[in-house]
Amino acid sequence: MEFAILGPLEVRTDGGDRVRLGGVRQERLLAALLLNTGGAVPVARLVDAVWDDRPPATADRQVRNLAGLLRRGFHRAEPAGPPALQTDGRGYRILLDGHRLDARTFADTVARSRRTAAAGQPSAAAAHLREALALWRGPVLDGLAGQAIRAGAVPLDELRLTAWEDCLDLEAALGRHRAGIPELTALVADHPLRERLVGQLMRALHASGRTADALAAHRRFTTRLAEELGLDPSPELRRLHLELLTTGTGREDGPRPVRGGGPGERGDRRAREAAPPTAAPAPPTTRAAPPRPAQLPPPLATFTGRAAELAALDGFADAATPPADATFPADATAFAGGPAARICAVSGSAGIGKSTLVVRWAHRRRDHFPGGQLYADLHGFSAEPPLPPHAVLARFLRALGVPGEQVPSVPEEAAALYRSLLAGQRVLVVLDNARSAEQVRPLLPGAPECLTVVTSRSGLAGLTARDGARPLALDLMPARDAVALLDRVIGGRRARSEPTAVTELAAVCGRLPLALAIAASRLAERPGRTVADHVAELRDTGDRLTALAIDGDATSAVRAALDLSYRALPATARALFRLLALAPGPGLSAAAAAALRGERTAAVRPVLEQLTTAHLLTHEGGDRYRLHDLLRLYAAERADAETGRAVRTAARERLGTWYLHHADAAARLLTPHRRRIPLPPPGPWYEPPAFTTAAGAQRWCESEHTHVLRVVRAAAADGPDDLAWRLPVVLWSYYFTSPHLDDREEAARLAVAAAGRAGDRYGEGHARNDLATALGALGRHDETLAELRLARALFASIGDRDGEANVIGNLGDHWLSTGAFGQARLYFQGALALLRAQPEDRRDDWAIRVCETNIGVTAMLAGRGREAGEYLHRALDRHRSTGDPVLEGITLYYLADHHRRLDHPEQAAERLRQALALIDGTTGNPRLRADVLAALAELGEDRPA
């Protein structure tokens, strides 16, 4: 069936016949469900939707009756169709599997348009938006009244207007100004205070030669805005108004004036560089004291924090700068006994605050350099091309008193003159935004009295290795400093009134100083806006990087800063950087990155180092790397724009396969004798994991379990379903001992849904069995029993006796946990009989030993001490003989309980100490370890050292 809410409410069959819904109450109920297709709608909310503030006393029952009428009406219209209305807990939900909803089609088409636009196809993107807008037949749910329905329609109406705006922007960029004027005029008439539409109408009118009409539209808007809301237009609209006033009636796409260099420094430099080489003039033999350059840019008044980095720079300067009364040979290049490092290379990612830090520090220390301070922005990562060293030398030489006509045109001669002039002078040289060591080397003074500080987005490893530079890498601001920066810009009183929101804003900005400064400045411009509202806007926006920009200042934008670093990378590094956005979390190993690329780790490691050197990736130590939040958003943006969907899908599936086989390898070490589910083989790129022990497997699972859960979520949402159910099932060996019970339940539920979608009864049986054990660990016994019965039926339907036996054993666990010991024993014995009935070569010995252990535990809890001792001791011997530390540890724990019940505390304590030693020496089973320590404490035993 097809549901339509973008206009009057309609339901039609696949054949196009209209489905009669009955009265207005059924329509209101269905409308409320269709406005909330993401989940179940509680009956209480449905009551509000049907009756507003005046529900009858029997409203709950009537809602259920109305839902029944709808369900029967849908069935009559399409008897063979999939169900559309489902009871869900205390409410109802609309199921769209096999059905269509025009609002969802609209959202999907708009999303497709955005992807197309990001791929550089504006015409196709505009066509997609036209297709989406054509779905609208009028206002949302036109003709249906009610507060709840009106409120639910607001987001859709906003999406429609945004789609109109995006469409008209795209068409304007294609030169279709005149064609858009009628639609814009109607839209502005309907939404006279929507500023973006007004701006679009003004641009279209101006570009069509109707500047006077554009100015009149602006006048009408500003008058109404002031009268109705008491507000002024935004700076962007004010700039547009000024542009229209100054450009007259010319067209927007007409010729623009070319900004060229006049006869100033740039022109002089071109003339000098074009002139034939001349001999370098000797330094003047008699001249006054050289000028004292003071070229440092002003420090930012909002600089905050970085105490550790400032101290590091102070320490570097104190160690590198000789005492004031030290004497050196006249030939500075002959000096060999001075400090080991007179260069400091400050590196970090875009927007991390390198320049701000160094300029702030340089001003603090400028009195230590009586010869002055030289400063140059080398444009290494800039929209402009990097400055050649000779151009910088020319600037420095003029600042040191060399007349322009005497600056050598040969770079080597200019560098020699530069070093000669600095000999004996204590000068600080700040080389900001360097591209490479090669760009920096000609600018290094030779004098030991001078100090050079270089900033770069690259690590400049060559400068460290060859020139003795001292590296200082900047990381994200500590949380306290990030909050302090926000506090300083927006005002202490305002920050103190919303401390939680300020902390959240620092986190949303990724603690990146540039992003923090932009967010703070936006808040400072809007004193009436709360910090919490700004945080919500940044969290909710689909394009946080665009929100982290300052209008009219292209350099003050996080995306623009990251673009420069990204574009400087080699193609292979850019390709890997894009794929890193597909990782399930901000951190990943080199082997996981290699899986994304479908290559061996050795081939990918150098590329990871390139990204690390460019500070687009952080090396966390060992084999781990991390993308901070904003870099991750940027990488995802570039992936959507530059990496095809097929490539992204293949990369995700390779990474999922990598996690699946690593998890399986871990399971084989954690429970080596437990039977495994079959897995599809990995590709030739796959390498076995580095861990080879149970303890190593446990550590891997613990470090990766959040990432694994994200992989399961992604596979459950976008496929493949096979991965979504296999991965949680494979991880049973870890979840069995893990304290992360909520994660275990979520993974199992996702696995059940995925296997069900795939129609895989084998997978669904395992997934439901695992979900039951998770629910049992959480103490939710009724749900456990229901899932086990479903799992048993699934295994029985496909003749899987081992699977059925495992479920029967878990049914025994269920009855054991509820105190029904007789029932539990019957189930354990039934499972044992079924397992032993299998052919010997197919017999599941591990499951048999589990059942025997559980029979012993059941006997102990039922008070049959002699039988319990026989079963538990026999089970312990069998676990030890097969080398199963997990079951051995569990059995030792229960044997200790058995001895305690027999009033043998010394034997109980000894068994517990044996269990603890075994746990600590193998998997580290955290849940069992906690139980063992608690039992020792009950016996009055100290925890072993």
Q: What is the pLDDT of residues 350-388, one digit of tens each?
A: 888 889 899 999 998 988 899 999 999 998 887 778 888
List pLDDT tens digits, range 830-883.
999 999 988 888 888 889 999 999 999 999 988 898 999 999 999 999 999 988
- Asked if residue 326 has pLDDT above 60, the reply is no
Per-residue pLDDT, averaged over 616-630, amounts to 86
Domain spans of the chain, in order of start: 294-324+339-473, 479-561, 569-643, 644-799
For residue 282, name the pLDDT band (cuts at 50, 70, 90): very low
For residue 257, name the pLDDT band (cuts at 50, 70, 90): very low
Q: Residues for the chain: how many in total?
A: 945
Which range, 11-20, 332-341, 431-440, 526-535, is most confident?
431-440
pLDDT at 290: 63
Q: What are phi and psi of 660, to 5 degrees?
A: -60, -45
Per-residue pLDDT, averaged over 779-790, amounts to 92
Which helix (H) or strand (E) segment holds residue 490: the answer is helix 479-490
- Asked if residue 760 has pLDDT above 90, the reply is yes
Per-residue pLDDT, averaged over 530-536, amounts to 83
Burial 105-140 (b: 16+ CB within 10 A, else e): bbeebbebbbebbeeeebeebbbbbeebbeebeebb
CB atoms within 10 A of CB 812: 27
Per-residue pLDDT, averaged over 915-944, amounts to 80
Residue, of 935 and 301, whose pLDDT is higher:
935
For residue 551, name the pLDDT band (cuts at 50, 70, 90): low
Q: Are strands 549-550 and 427-434 parallel, antiparallel or unpaired?
A: unpaired
Rounded (10°) angle between helices 801-817 and 781-797: 160
| Cα gap 771→756, rounded to integer Å | 14
Q: Which CATH class is domain 294-324+339-473?
A: alpha beta
- Asked if residue 330 has pLDDT above 50, the reply is no
pLDDT at 392: 92
Per-residue pLDDT, averaged over 641-655, amounts to 92
Domains 569-643 and 644-799 share a fold: no
Q: What is the identity of the amino acid at 382?
A: S
For residue 685, name the pLDDT band (cuts at 50, 70, 90): very high
DSSP string, 720-757: -HHHHHHHHHHTHHHHTT-S-HHHHHHHHHHHHHHHHH
Q: What is the pTM of this model?
A: 0.60
Residue, of 320 and 30, whose pLDDT is higher:
30
Residues 6+ apart with CB under 8 A from 535: 501, 504, 505, 508
List pLDDT tens digits, range 694-737.
888 988 998 898 899 999 999 999 889 999 999 999 999 888 87
pLDDT at 817: 86
Q: Angle 315-316-318 (CA atoms, 0-180°, nearest 5)?
A: 65
- On average, the pLDDT of the chain sits at 84
Task: Tell which CATH classification among 3.30.70, 1.20.1740, 1.25.40, 1.10.3720 matches the domain 644-799.
Answer: 1.25.40
- Asked if residue 64 has pLDDT above 90, the reply is no
Task: Name which of 883, 890, 938 is nearest 911 in CA terms.
Answer: 890
- Where would I find the H helices in 284-401? 307-320, 354-365, 389-399
Q: What's the CATH number for 569-643?
A: 1.10.10.10
- Respond yes or no on whether the N-terminal peptide bond of residue 720 is cis (omega within 30° of 0): yes
Task: Name which of 685, 505, 724, 532 is nearest 601 in CA terms.
Answer: 685
Q: From residue 422, how far is each of 324, 397, 442, 598 by CA, in Å?
A: 16, 10, 13, 53
Query: Which region among 93-102, 514-523, 750-759 has the lowest average model confidence (pLDDT)?
Result: 514-523
Query: Which region among 268-282, 467-481, 554-568 has the lowest average model confidence (pLDDT)?
Result: 268-282
Query: Which region among 312-321, 702-711, 722-731, 786-795 has the lowest average model confidence (pLDDT)?
Result: 312-321
Task: Name which of 897, 912, 819 is nearest 853 in CA terms.
Answer: 897
Q: Are 206 and 246 in contact (CB under 8 A)?
A: no
Query: Which region among 286-295, 865-874, 924-933 has the lowest average model confidence (pLDDT)?
Result: 286-295
| Cα gap 139→22, rounded to integer Å | 22
- Asked if residue 514 has pLDDT above 90, the reply is no
Residue, of 883 and 276, whose pLDDT is higher:
883
| Cα gap 459→561, rounded to integer Å | 17
Q: Are strands 91-94 and 85-88 parallel, antiparallel or unpaired?
A: antiparallel
Per the listing, tokens 């260069």 go with 343
pLDDT at 316: 85
Q: Are 698 and 886 in contact (CB under 8 A)?
A: no
- Asked if residue 253 has pLDDT above 70, the reply is no
Instruction: State what percent of residues in the chain have pLDDT above 70.
Output: 91
pLDDT at 277: 42
pLDDT at 136: 92
Per-residue pLDDT, averaged over 233-260, amounts to 61
Count of helices and strands (H, E) across the chain: 42, 16
